[in-house]
Structure 1
Amino acid sequence: MAQDLTPAETDKMNRDRTTVERDFWQKLKATARKVPFIDDLVSVYFCAVDPKTPLQSKAILLAALAYFIVPLDAIADFFIPLGFADDAAVLYAAIRAVAPHIKPEHRVQAKDALDRVLQSSA
């Protein structure tokens, strides 16, 4: 994967980063017990914010995370269980594209963070 992004891709990544930084944990707390792919989702978050993750991989992951956060997606999330099917498809496409960059430490960070989120929302 090349490191360079076009100016338009950089702008999109920055918008996605802003959305993720602002809304990820709030959306996660609201949906954590309903989303079957929550472990992967949080692992992707930690990979996306890791300074060692290549720029193009970050762009892909931030786009997938922003898609999960934004309420206007292909299938409304309140249609459980179908509501998260499109989010899962986008997330798994992103994971396949950048799989070598999702490290065991991202999964450990995700487990720890998810344990805290689930305890605080209990």
Structure 2
Amino acid sequence: MPDFLKSMNHRDTEGHRDSLSEIVIGSAIEVHRHLGAGLLESAYEECLCWELQQRGVPVQRQHPLPVNYKGQQLDCGYRIDLLVANRLVVELKAVEQLLPIHEAQILSYLRLGGFDTGLLVNFHTTLLKNGIRRFKL
């Protein structure tokens, strides 16, 4: 377990966010505070990665996600925007509004990767907290 997680209080019960989600949300708010809305998703991805790394949080960008089909791992081109600490899926958007297809996308990533928690973050909002959705399988 990474050192930064050892000291964290993991509250993953209904109605509570775990500490790792809180760090990612705080970092995303910081990025949005500095950049505002209107940029490309790739800019927010780069900045959020930098912000998380500054906080000592391990993050992987564009993490490949194979599909397990009949016991075979197949690369179908799926990529998780950010995989934080090898356990939290973060899908970033910069769209007018989140649609059901965006929710289906992150839920699929959680199922395919065997992850239990994900964040869908839409930076194209006036107030970022209105653009964040948390998913738990």
**TM-score of the two chains, using structure 1 as the length reference:** 0.29
Larger relative contact order (CA 8 Å, sep ≥ 6): 1
- What TM-score results when the alignment is normalised by the length of structure 2? 0.27
Which structure has the bigger radius of gyration?
Answer: 2
User: Which structure has the highest helix share of the two?
Assistant: 1
